[in-house]
Structure 1
Amino acid sequence: MTTAETSERTLPTGRTPVVTALLLIVAGAVGLLGAFALTIDKFTLLENPTEALGCDVNPFVGCSPVINSWQASLFGFPNPILGLIGFVAPIAVGVALLAGARFARWFWIAFTAGTFLAWVFVTWLFTQTVFVIGALCPWCMLVWSVTIPLFWVFTVWGLARGVTAPDGSGVQRTAARLLPYSWVLPVVNYIVVATVIVVRFPLLLPTLF
């Protein structure tokens, strides 16, 4: 097999993946909104540390305790800056797919690795928020809510389309069969998150009504 043939096999083929492209665009836009709101709130607290934010609903739900924690600046700068940078990528890729763009396998592997790292990061932030900080940040939860399906659905799609796994391999065929049901994975993830929140904050629901 020639180098040109090998390179060609690394590109997704077939119809434009409209659903996947729209998922990338919507998830990226919503995540970008959440990151932007958190950045604005961070600036607000820097200017006036005692000011109550609009998302400070009650002792259980509020952005201030989370934004002021060390976990919110894990790498020495506010975490939302990562979101402002990172969520641009799925939007750009989604738009490119709608325009008919095709990418090499190394690009898809790198992009999938990025979504995986994002999922790991928000999962860690979730555990820190629930078990250590003891407060739920609405804007943070918005970011979690889009990162979860972005990782699970896109990972299955990439394997099924043969863009992150060898085309025709057992992994690719298995993922292709699972692709119509890939929505189950983020739903299970949501259920786990919701269950942990209810268990850790048993008085949360009554305070919301």
Structure 2
Amino acid sequence: MTDLHAADTTAPAEDRRPIGLALFLIITGAVGWLGAMALITERVKLLLDPEYTLNCDINPLISCGNVMASWQASLLGFPNPLLGVAGLVAPIAVGVALLAGARFDRWFWWAFLTGVTGAFVFVHWLFDQAVYQIGALCPWCMLVWLMVIPMFWVLLVWCLKGDVLTSNAAVQRLAGAVWPFTWVIVVANLVAIAVAILVQFPTLIGLLLG
């Protein structure tokens, strides 16, 4: 994996900008934001026209409508995608700021990572509820999952391997050793989710192959 920490290996360490990380945050944040906004747009269209067919209603199994109708879709009393539309602006903003040369204090990185961790935990809870309780999958929701999960793992390891979250040399060395294999962690996480979905909904295999 390309080192997201360094923009120019010939420049002094203190002058390097984490351009790779910045671009990664912008891309994953923007794609996730688009997924959340698509859900909000579809919900508004459905409110305006109860006969409207959601663009993500493919069949009873792959159906945003079935997910939207559940209580889990409005956990805090309003549609969950509003959390995504608001929250996913943060990684985009942080990425843009890093590209502009911004430097953040340790407290900021702790706060930012805490927010991303909250999103990571939330999407796994939504995955559990969709697969094992609701019995339906929302394509736009899964797009958000697909962005938040790698965002969390990459940000976590990147923060730990530098003097960002902690000055503990042992932690930095361990994270530095893990860093080149972060993609393996991301793939393993996503594969575990995919396998759980296929085990729970074996008919999906036929749909994918056919």
Task: Please say whether Structure 1 and Structure 2 have the same fold, judged by a TM-score greater than 0.5.
Answer: yes
In 1, Cα distance between equivalents of 2:71 and 2:52: 19
Percent of aligned pairs with the same residue?
A: 55
Q: 2:145 is matched by which residue type in structure 1?
A: W
Please give the alpha-carbon distance, in whole angstroms, between the structure 2 residues aligned to 1:206 and 1:13: 53
The answer on whether the counterparts of 1:153 and 1:185 sit within 8 Å (CA) in structure 2 is no
Cα distance in 2 for residues equivalent to 1:207 and 1:192: 20
Following superposition, the deviation at residue 14 of structure 1 comes to 4.9
- Taking the aligned partners of 1:87 and 1:152, their CA distance within structure 2 comes to 16
Give 1:169 shift: 2.1
Query: 1 CA distance for matches of 2:185 and 2:51?
Result: 40
Instruction: After superposition, give the CA deviation of every residue in 1:169-198 in whole Å (9 maximum; x if it has no partner).
Output: 211111112111111111110011000000
Q: What are the Cα deviations for residues 145-171 of structure 1, in whole angstroms up to 9, with x where unaligned? A: 0000000111000001120122x5211
Deviation of the 1:58 alpha carbon: 1.3
In structure 2, what is the equivalent of residue 201 of structure 1? 201
Q: How does 1:1-209 map to 2 (within 5 A)?
A: 13-166=14-167, 168-208=168-208, 209=210
Unaligned runs of 5+ in 2: 1-12
Q: What is the CA distance between 1:50 and its match in structure 2?
A: 4.2
For 2:99, the aligned partner's letter is L
TM-score by length of 1: 0.90
Q: Which one-letter code corresponds to 1:59 in the other structure?
A: P
Uncovered stretches (5+) of structure 1, i.e. residues with no partner:
1-11
Q: How many residues align?
A: 197
Give the alignment's TM-score, normalised by structure 2: 0.90
Runs of 4+ in 1 over 4 A off after TM superposition: none
